[in-house]
Structure 1
Amino acid sequence: MEFREIDKYNYWDCIELTIDDNQEGFVADNKQSLVEAAYEDGLYTLGIYLEETMIGFILYNYDETFPGWSMSRFMIGKQFQGKGYGKQASIEFLEYFKNKHNTDKLYISVSLENMLARKMYSSIGFTEIKEVEYAFGDKYYKEIQMVKEL
């Protein structure tokens, strides 16, 4: 598994990755994430590759609300789900991230309703720290913030 920056050569592969219908509301559409990263400072995008195939996407940033580094978006394309790639990519991203940014913590926020993701992150050492509620545009979200000591 490998992480590659999203650029003009692979952005379309990222856009074509989609989630299953029952995951709607758990993660932003990749098109939205790429637009945000293009116009907002400090957002970093990575494709998750299995050999030469992009199977997932990560967006991370330094989040002043924690304050600390946060994996803001994480997804595995629906055609690649159920094979353990999400957990493997999460574990490998922690090592990639630690080596790149030399930091001791990484935060994530997960929908309160996304029990599968909460369980997976807990299994690799993330600890739930608090519930948060917020509005973004016309949508309302309830999430659990989690942290992993690196």
Structure 2
Amino acid sequence: MNLHFEDVTEKNFWQVIGIKSDEDQEKRIQIFERWVGSNAFFLGAAQVFGYCPRALYDGEQLIGFASHGLNKETGRYEMISLMLGYQFQGKGYGSPALKLVIEEMVEMYGCSEIYLSVIWNNEAAIRVYEKAGFKPTGEVEEGHHPEPVYCLHLGS
């Protein structure tokens, strides 16, 4: 496994927005998928709100997408998306991909906390987040779906 991020550019844009988290989603174009917003949605959010969009690769193979940054309204550093293409789910990428996001956020922002929200019944994602140390805050973000908010406290 050789995971790394690359910028989303004109060269990989169409591939990035074509990645789907569920095979059934591949047949439809829509803003929200079952477990996550589409990459097109999060690229738009990154542009408007100043988040950092990242294409996730294993070697030369594009396998997913992530975006993160400072929520100017709350003052919190957030991972607003992390998705793996359905072909790459269940293959051991979840925890290493999350670790890569956390490392990049610490390097880029020097943050001591990272927040995220997740659809309440996305049990696979919740297991990965909790295994990495994210804890529920008791807050619920009201977006397209009500999503519990989690926080990872880093260091001292």
Q: Structure 2: where are the runs of 5+ without partners? A: 26-31
Q: Structure 1: where are the runs of 5+ without partners? A: none
Query: Does the Cα contact within 8 Å between 1:131 and 1:142 map onto a contact in 2?
Result: no
1:33-80: CA deviation from partner (whole Å, max 9, x where unpaired)? 223333x04121001110011101001121245431100011000011
TM-score (norm 2): 0.84
Give the total of aligned pairs: 145
- Structure 1 position 133, deviation (Å): 4.8
Matches within 5 A, 1:1-150: 1-20=3-22, 21=24, 24-38=33-47, 40-135=48-143, 139=144, 141-150=145-154
1:81-121: CA deviation from partner (whole Å, max 9, x where unpaired)? 11111111101221122112111111000111112211110
Among the aligned pairs, what percent are the same residue? 30
Q: Report the structure, 1 or 2, having the larger strand content.
A: 1
- The CA distance in 2 between the partners of 1:6 and 1:106, in whole Å, is 22
- Structure 1 position 29, deviation (Å): 0.8
TM-score (norm 1): 0.87
Please provide the CA RMSD for this pair.
1.9
Moved over 4 A (4+): none
- The CA distance in 2 between the partners of 1:108 and 1:66, in whole Å, is 12
